[in-house]
Amino acid sequence: MMNPYFFEIEIIQDELTNDVALSVTDYVKEDNLDDRKLIWNNSIGYLQRVIGA
The 10s digit of each residue's pLDDT in 30-43 is 888 999 999 999 99
* Alpha-helical regions (H) of 1-53: 33-51
Check residue 50 and give its pLDDT. 95
Q: What is the pTM of this model?
A: 0.62
Residue 26 has pLDDT above 80, yes or no: yes
